[in-house]
Amino acid sequence: MNKPTDSETHKQNLYSSNDITISLYLGILWGLIEVYLSPYLKGFRLPLTGVILTAIAITFIFTGKYFARSPGTILFMGLIAALIKFFSQPAIICYPSIAIMIEALIAELVILIFRIRFISFITAGILLLLYVSFHSIFTKGFSISQWKDIGDAPLFNRIPHILEIDISLQPWIIFSFFSVHVLTGVIAALLSWNFSKVISKRSKTN
């Protein structure tokens, strides 16, 4: 009797209980990070809070995707996290939940196209952090004149005022702003890839 091919075995294992369990737990973890860690960091008025939260989320969800390889597992994680975030809001505020689902969609599409590879993790990490940067721009705007409170403006608009430096340096500040996002995405993806490899090796030796 012929043995099933790798593709046939993969099809049989689609949406296994293991994939669902991993996605469920990591989706809950992602949601709890958004609900509890986000306001905690914002309470300290730390810069780039969205970058920190997204980098942490990338580390968990990419590691989970390495082991839960069925199509849609990141979307499932995002759905769980988005629902937790949605029902935790004091009012019906859906924007954070929509942002979570967009992040999950970006990551899922990139990994679906490039599959579970090092380059797919790096690409998805960069795109997710770039999305975070553009999301802040779309919601806050480029011009600081739009904001009565300078603390509400995008970070690259606040820096010249905080440090009292020439506004002509703003293009370099904007470049640095996006560079930080890209670098953070790469680092988070590297961490998740290495975590996945370490866990995989240890599970094989046990």
**Domain extents for the chain?**
6-205
Q: What is the pLDDT of residue 121?
A: 96
What average pLDDT is seen over the chain?
Answer: 79
Residue 6: per-residue pLDDT:
41
Q: Give me the pLDDT at residue 111, please.
A: 94
Q: What is the pLDDT of residues 18-73, one digit of tens each?
A: 899 999 999 999 999 988 888 888 777 766 788 889 999 999 999 999 999 999 99
- 3-state SS of 69-121 is CCCCHHHHHHHHHHHHHHHHCCCCCCHHHHHHHHHHHHHHHHHHHHCCCHHHH
Tell me, what's the pLDDT at 46? 67
**pLDDT tens digits for 83-102?**
999 888 765 567 788 889 99
Amino acid identity, position 1: M
- The vertex-133 CA angle with 183 and 140, nearest 5°, equals 155
- Mean pLDDT of all residues in 74-86: 94
Q: What is the pLDDT of residues 104-115, one digit of tens each?
A: 999 999 999 999
pLDDT > 90? residue 183: yes
DSSP 8-state code for residue 150: G
Does 154 have pLDDT greater than 90? no
pTM, to two decimals: 0.76
3-class DSSP state of 153: coil
Least confident of 13-17, 83-87, 99-103, 159-163: 159-163
Options 1.10.10, 1.10.8, 1.10.1760, 2.40.30; which CATH number does 6-205 get?
1.10.1760
Decide if pLDDT at 143 tops 60: no
Q: What is the pLDDT of residues 130-142, one digit of tens each?
A: 998 877 665 554 4
The answer to whether the beta carbons of residues 189 and 62 sit under 8 Å apart is yes
**Cα distance from N-terminal residue to C-terminal residue, the chain:** 31
| pLDDT for residue 5 | 45
Separation of alpha carbons 205 and 203, rounded Å: 6
Higher-confidence position of 82 and 46: 82
Instruction: Give the model's pLDDT for residue 65.
Output: 95
The pLDDT confidence band at residue 169, using thresholds 50, 70 and 90, is low
What phi, psi does 141 have (nearest 5°)? 85, 160
Residue 164, phi then psi, degrees to nearest 5: 55, 50
